[in-house]
Amino acid sequence: MVTTSQIRALVQSVPANKTLGLEVLQTDDGFAQVAVTVPTAMTGVTGSLHTGGLVDIVDAAGLAAILSTCPKATPARNVVPTGAAAVFDFLAPAHGRLIGSCSLSEATRTTLRQFWFEQVHHVKIMAFAAVSDTTGEEVCRASFGWSLHRDLARSAARELHVV
């Protein structure tokens, strides 16, 4: 099964996540929690985290939650995850240390298992996430549609190269 440290290495290597200083705190079968201490370079005119930063936190929490459902040690091999649609509610200014969390429904986890076990090669799922500050106040909540598919051409080329 994929481990939190593997997910951390993958998610934290994304350039946008590096810019934010995003950390993956924990993952567990469809659940993920990430954190950001708001960098001054990412603040808007009000001094709070720019909405783009909040979108990145939701994106990272969702991706980490998705990867945490993978029963294999190498979840990203030939898998292309892309955002498909999103709805955000920005509820309060985002200052200080922020925690983003995403918990996938049982139905979504079941769909992802079919994908990981290659029963299907493309899935569309919905993830729900929230971002809170250190007082526990929710500053943002979102629904985020994801599309995951296998890059079959890349997979075939890799298999031919290995043989």
pLDDT in tens, 92-148: 999 999 999 999 999 999 999 999 988 898 999 999 999 999 999 999 999 999 999
> Do residues 136 and 95 touch, judged by C-beta distance below 8 A?
no
CA distance 90 to 123: 28
Please check whether the domain covering 4-162 is classified as CATH 3.10.129.10.
yes
Please state, in angstroms and rounded to a whole number, the distance separating the CA atoms of residues 90 and 86: 13
Residue 9 to residue 29: CA distance in whole angstroms: 17
Whether residue 163 is predicted with pLDDT greater than 50 in this model: the reply is no
Predicted TM-score (pTM) of this structure: 0.89
| Cβ–Cβ < 8 Å for 116, 138 | no
Closest among 40, 48, 76, 58 to 154, alpha carbons compared: 76
Whole-number mean pLDDT of the chain? Answer: 89
Q: What is the pLDDT of residues 74-87, one digit of tens each?
A: 656 688 888 889 99
Q: Which of 86, 94, 82 is nearest to 131 (CA)?
A: 94
DSSP assignment of 110-142: HHHHHHHTTS-SEEEEEEEEEEEETT--EEEEE
**CA separation for the pair 132, 129 (Å, rounded):** 10
What b/e sequence results for 28-50 when a residue is b if at least 16 CB atoms lie within 10 Å of its CB, and e otherwise? eebbbbbbbebeeebbeeeebbb
Domain segments of the chain as ranges? 4-162
